[in-house]
Amino acid sequence: MKKVIEVKSLTKEYKGLRAVDDLSFDVYSGEILGLLGPNGSGKSTTINCLLSLLKFQTGSIQIFGKSMSPTAYEIKKQIGVVFQEVAVFQELTVRENIEYFCGLYIKNKKMRNEYVEEAIQLVGLEEFKKFYPKQLSGGLLRRLNIACGIAHKPKLIFLDEPTVAVDPQSRNHILDGIKRLRNEGATIIYTTHYMEEVEILCDRVIILDKGKIIASGTPDELKELAKIEEKVSVEIEKISTEKLEEMKRFKNVDDVKYIDGILVVTYQKGKNNLIHLIDYLKKENLQYNKIYSERPTLNDVFLELTGKELRD
Amino acid sequence: MFGHNFKCALKTLFKNKVLLFWTFAFPIILGTLFHMAFQDIESNETLDVIDIAIVENESWKENKILSHVFDELEGDLFSITYGSEEEAIALLNDHKISGYLILSDTLKVVVKENGIDQTVLKFVVEEITETEEIMKQIAFRNPMKEESFYQNLYSMIGQIQNENKVELVDISNQNLSYTMIEFYTLIAMTCLYGGMLGLYVVNQNLANQSHNGKRIAVSPTPKWKVILSSALAGYVVQLVGIALLFLYTTFVLHVDYGNDILKVIFLTLMGCFAGLSMGIMIATLFKVSENTKTGIIIAFTMLCCFLSGMMGITMKYLIDKNIPILNLINPASMITDGFYALYYYDTFSRYYFDLMSLFLFSLLMILLSIRSLRRQKYDSI
Amino acid sequence: MTVFKAYLKVLNKNKALVILYTVLLIFFASFNMKTNSVGTFVAEKPNVLIVNQDENRGITKSLIQYITQNSTIVRVKENDSSINDALFYRDVSYIIYLPHHFRNDFLSGKNPKIEVKSTGDYNASLASMMLERYLKVATTYREVEKDEASLVKMIEETLDHQVDIEMTSKLDSNQLMKARDFYNFSNYSLLAGCVFVICFIVASFKDENIRKRTMVSSLDMKKYNQQLLFANGLFALTLWFLYVLLSFILVGKSILDFHGLLFLFNSFVFMVVALTFGLLIGNLVQNKEAIGGIVNVVALGSSFLCGAFVPMEWLPDFVLKIAHIFPSYYYISNNHFISSLEYFELSWSFVMNIGMLLLFGVLFILITNIISKRK
């Protein structure tokens, strides 16, 4: 696969703080790469360094095989960026905003108009073309923010937490749009701290903490990293400590906990674990209400790797 | 690209109500207020007909010379009410007259308070009574005393004074209306408020100042193109505003900018440029929030205008006279003084000096900002 | 007390503005300090500049002496532009250029021309009368006396002749004028200060989200409004007190009598009106960015049109007619009235003006109530 971005030992210090610490990674053509990490883990700083907005101490950045710099206009032409903050002109309408930012890339007026219309369709703002930003709700504003960043059909797109504080409907719209962009051939770098999004969207994930890569791979590969394979929760009214101890000795069982009326049994691997558990409950005549089984999430991976929750 | 960004910047600026208020509407409102408040000041300072009263007692009626002289002055210098002493006192207490005359042994002037009218009254009365003194002096040298002597002498003195006059030639400039300075400071204020436009356009385009700036920084458009075209848009908006102000002050408020229109325009272009570049300097060099920067521009502008005479014309004179060095760092004073030079002076050396100072000021502002404007990468954003 | 405490915190953020206005006021008030003695008549002296190109002897010397005695001679740098500037800015009202050979020409019976520059105002007229008077006397005596020394003596004796003048008022009008100007100017400071701060804070409290939050809180809305009003009132009172204190520091002695009390009373009533006006504007305007503009237009507008900056008697009639729609007009009218009072007396017009001010206050409160109910 073709490398679109090649980052080698990138380090960025600011006021004695190491925001990005010896970071190296590649991004391949046509993939959606998720940059996952809690607030302050260095996701946005990394992106700003990649875009040559920030100075950095050491490291090299190659995009499309060329060295990135503030005046590398040929590279910049093919990049689209959606920043975390909504960056639009309050004095311009939705369409005017998109047209302006698109105009920074596309000189041909006819082509620009087509692109603007397509971007409006992509984010679903057809009915709000003539609205001013302050008339839009938070979700719609985010969609406008995205349209402004990608209207010029870039080959490489950076999306920095584009779904923060967005209602579910707008979020689905946004995620669908991103998938469409990838299907049209764009390479996408997507930062977020919502793991659900990463799991649905990303082909590959890099998990950052304190400016360092602590894990990378496809979502499934990463889940392999977690020791657990399955987690079963049972709503149960009462259970004795002896029985808990007994269950811990079952095949494949990693741990058994009983908190607030819920019994949680985690398994390392194996099959038919749930059936074994139900059989046991029946045999012991234990009354239970609900029972459900979960696959491990990236959150569990993160917890496993760092000992702390991803979302705080 | 240049045109595209220029058009967009123009559009955003013309839709920004707060900016438009300060650069378009506020100067016109303030100018109107100046005009309403100041239009009568200068005519009030010329000598009006003074209201006085004369106590018409027996001695007054007997003194033909005095009554004749005051009849002559009626209407020109004085508006005279004749009456009893009580009536005169009542008029004085009601501020209807500046003073009254009462003749007993000598002529006495009664006034209520110090003032210019009272001084003029005193002066005229002295001048009239001194004719008597002159007659005495001449008579002293002329022992011959006929019946008609005094009568002849009086007319003789009148003749001498009328024919043998030392002529006073008034060579003062006709353009002496000092309230014009107020309007010149108003133009200066508008030029400097243009700094807000400079602040706004630069803020929109620098990655370390605004989110929009980040977008522009990652786009393939060269930075100088964006900043230059935005600044040009700001300048155009500023010029539109100042043109409106000029039209309004000239045709509605009848402000006199002198006769050399080209020089007036040139000075204004330079003044606007100074304001804009000041705004750009404040936008790039100060590391505070945008609101605080706007505050700095307003405060600096008001201070400069104060020092160039907006809140009291004397201030400008005091500084011109005592600390002229201050004018070399005050753009408002350079603009105001340039207009003053065009209005009042026949020569242009002062005007060119002001123009040159403005140019140097703008240049300094741009040089100060250029380092920060050229920066492409930042330590933090 | 929660509301009150929050109020103080918001106020603390705006202290720079309050200080700015106060400094401006002190500056302005101390700017116009000119002293004059009381009770005896003192002639006004015009500012004159004499540029003597003749030798300073005999009749020339005498003329200069006479002008010097009766006017204030201004020292200006001896170059054309300094002299011209001085004339333009009224540092000098009248400039006399005594020509070369003036003395010789005059004594030999010629009539040399004297060039003058004049601002055309009453000071210039007075100076011109002075010069003409000397020349008239001199030309008359020139006909009968040829010896220069005796001629000068004759002229001086005649001009020395003074008329008897009596001044009836013992009022320290100069100091009272200063007090009046100070209180007139406070029209701007009180109005701008009150309206800006109150607007800003009310707008903060009336902010859509904060308003909703307070409305759902357990606080009684009536109590809430009362606390807000109390806090605003206290602020206005402090502002007023500061200005009154300042007036006593600046022009203290002259108003330590009924004048001071009346000024105090009048400005207090005006402060109440400014408070109600601030509340009205605060309720009308929600956009914080717009407040600065509105305050400037309202405060500067009513100050210019009602005579806070330029004395009322110098304003054109039509402007004064327009001024009737502003409360400031009645406040400033009363300041003028107080400054001309020789003894304590409450005239009908004074009471009427106070009545008008209170009427404005009530009107503003009514409109505020209507507006806030409609929302």
The per-residue pLDDT for A311 is 56
Same domain flag for A169 and A211: yes
- CB nearest to A101's CB, from B207, B215, B217: B215
Contact criterion met (CB < 8 Å) for C163 and B126? yes
- CB nearest to B111's CB, from C41, C76, C128: C41
Task: Identify from C163, C168, C291 which residue to disrupt to test chain B contact, counting B C-beta atoms within 10 A and taking the largest count.
Answer: C163
Of the candidates B124, B117, B122, B128, the one whose C-alpha atom is nearest the C-alpha of residue B51 is B117
Same domain flag for C139 and C25: no
Among C122, C139, C160, where does a domain finish?
Answer: C160
The per-residue pLDDT for C17 is 61
Q: Which residues are A204's β-sheet partners?
A: A33
Same domain flag for C363 and C221: yes
Residues 6+ apart with CB under 8 A from B146: none
Is residue B302 included in any domain, yes or no? yes
Return the residue of B nearest to A45 by Cα.
Answer: B380
Lowest mean pLDDT among A7-21, A241-255, C11-25, C241-255: C11-25
- CB nearest to C118's CB, from B45, B172, B321: B172
Locus of tokens 């074994």: A276
Among A180, A204, A224, where does a domain finish?
Answer: A224
Same domain flag for C125 and C235: no
Residues of B in contact with A83 (CB under 8 A): 211, 214-215
The edge-to-edge listing of strands for the beta sheet with B107-111 is B78-83, B50-55, B99-103, B107-111, C164-167
Summarize pLDDT for A213-268 with one digit per residue, the tens.
988 999 888 887 777 778 888 888 888 888 888 888 887 888 888 888 888 888 87
Contact between B91 and B68 under an 8 Å Cβ cutoff? The reply is no
Contact criterion met (CB < 8 Å) for C44 and B119? yes
Same domain flag for C30 and C146: no
Structure tokens at B379: 């330590």
Same domain flag for C199 and C321: yes
Summarize pLDDT for C48-63 with one digit per residue, the tens.
999 999 888 889 999 9
Contact criterion met (CB < 8 Å) for B46 and C121? yes
Is residue B115 included in any domain, yes or no? yes
Is residue A161 included in any domain, yes or no? yes
Distance between A90 CA and the closest CA of chain B, angstroms: 8
Task: Collect all residues from B whose CB is shorter than 8 A from any CB in A.
Answer: 1, 4-5, 8, 11-13, 15-16, 204, 207, 210-212, 214-223, 226, 376-381
Summarize pLDDT for C10-27 with one digit per residue, the tens.
777 766 666 665 666 556
Same domain flag for C195 and C330: yes
Return the residue of A nearest to B226 by Cα.
Answer: A104
Contact criterion met (CB < 8 Å) for B110 and C86? no
Same domain flag for C79 and C137: yes
Distance between B79 CA and the closest CA of chain C, angstroms: 17
Among C134, C160, C186, where does a domain finish?
Answer: C160
Return the residue of B nearest to A108 by Cα.
Answer: B1
Cβ burial C12-51 (10 Å sphere, 16+ → b, else e): eeeeebbeebbebbbebbeeeeeeeebeebebbbbbbbbe
What is the residue range of B25's domain?
Answer: 2-39+179-374
Whether B44 shows a pLDDT value over 50: the answer reads yes
Whether B280 shows a pLDDT value over 80: the answer reads yes
Distance between A85 CA and the closest CA of chain B, angstroms: 7
H, E, C per residue of chain C: CHHHHHHHHHHHHCHHHHHHHHHHHHHHHHHCCCCCCCCCCCCCCCEEEEEECCCCCHHHHHHHHHHHHHCEECCCCCCHHHHHHHHHCCCCCEEEEECCCHHHHHHCCCCCCEEEEECCCHHHHHHHHHHHHHHHHHHHHHCCCCCHHHHHHHHHHHHHCCCEEEECCCCCHHHHHHHHHHHHHHHHHHHHHHHHHHHHHHHHHHCHHHHHHHHHCCCCHHHHHHHHHHHHHHHHHHHHHHHHHHHHHHHHHHHCCHHHHHHHHHHHHHHHHHHHHHHHHHHHCCCHHHHHHHHHHHHHHHHHHHCCCCCHHHCCHHHHHHHCCCHHHHHHHHHHHHHCCCCCCCCHHHHHHHHHHHHHHHHHHHHHHHHHHHC
Same domain flag for A192 and A286: no
- pTM for the full predicted model: 0.84
- CB nearest to C304's CB, from B33, B107, B127: B33
- CA separation for the pair A40, A43 (Å, rounded): 7
Of the candidates C304, C40, C320, C353, the one whose C-alpha atom is nearest the C-alpha of residue C191 is C304
- CB nearest to A81's CB, from B218, B379, B381: B218
Lowest mean pLDDT among A123-137, A148-162, B24-38, C181-195: C181-195
Is residue A138 included in any domain, yes or no? yes
Contact criterion met (CB < 8 Å) for C31 and B34? no
Chains that touch B (3 or more CB pairs under 8 A): A, C
Number of domains in chain C: 2
The per-residue pLDDT for C172 is 67
B vs C: CB pairs below 8 A: 227
Contact criterion met (CB < 8 Å) for A54 and B378? yes
Number of domains in chain B: 2
Any chain B CB within 8 A of the CB of A148? yes
What is the residue range of A13's domain?
Answer: 3-224
Query: What is the CATH number for C131?
Result: 3.40.1710.10
pLDDT tier for residue A125 given thresholds of 50, 70 and 90: very high
Contact criterion met (CB < 8 Å) for C161 and B133? yes
Mean pLDDT of chain A: 87
Is residue C42 included in any domain, yes or no? no
Same domain flag for A84 and A167: yes
Is residue C90 included in any domain, yes or no? yes
Return the residue of A nearest to B224 by Cα.
Answer: A71
Is residue A46 included in any domain, yes or no? yes
Summarize pLDDT for B56-91 with one digit per residue, the tens.
888 888 877 777 778 878 877 888 889 888 888 888
Return the residue of C nearest to B29 by Cα.
Answer: C297
Residues of B in contact with C304 (CB under 8 A): 33-34, 36-37
Mean pLDDT of chain C: 83
Query: What is the CATH number for B91?
Result: 3.40.190
Same domain flag for B300 and B322: yes
Is residue B168 included in any domain, yes or no? no
Structure tokens at B370: 């250029």
What average pLDDT does this structure show over C210-223? 71
pLDDT tier for residue B353 given thresholds of 50, 70 and 90: very high
Distance between C222 CA and the closest CA of chain B, angstroms: 35
Any chain B CB within 8 A of the CB of A91? yes
Among A224, A240, A273, where does a domain finish?
Answer: A224
Give the three-class secondary structure for A187.
strand
Is residue A111 included in any domain, yes or no? yes
The per-residue pLDDT for C33 is 42
Any chain B CB within 8 A of the CB of A71? yes
Query: What is the CATH number for A169?
Result: 3.40.50.300
Return the residue of B nearest to C117 by Cα.
Answer: B172
Contact criterion met (CB < 8 Å) for B113 and C319? no
Contact criterion met (CB < 8 Å) for A101 and B219? yes
Among C160, C188, C219, where does a domain finish?
Answer: C160
Is residue A92 included in any domain, yes or no? yes
Using a pLDDT cut of 70, give the percent of chain A over it: 98
Half-sphere exposure of C102 (CA within 13 A, CB side): 27
pLDDT tier for residue A80 given thresholds of 50, 70 and 90: very high
Give the three-class secondary structure for A202.
coil
Residues of B in contact with C42 (CB under 8 A): 114
Is residue A85 included in any domain, yes or no? yes
Distance between B331 CA and the closest CA of chain C, angstroms: 20
What average pLDDT does this structure show over C356-371? 92
What is the residue range of C313's domain?
Answer: 2-36+173-374
Task: Identify from B164, B200, B311, B313 which residue to disrupt to test chain C contact, counting C C-beta atoms within 10 A and taking the largest count.
Answer: B164
Contact between B109 and C140 under an 8 Å Cβ cutoff? The reply is no
Number of domains in chain A: 2
Using a pLDDT cut of 90, give the percent of chain B over it: 37
Same domain flag for B183 and B158: no
Amino acid at A58: T
- CA separation for the pair B92, B95 (Å, rounded): 5
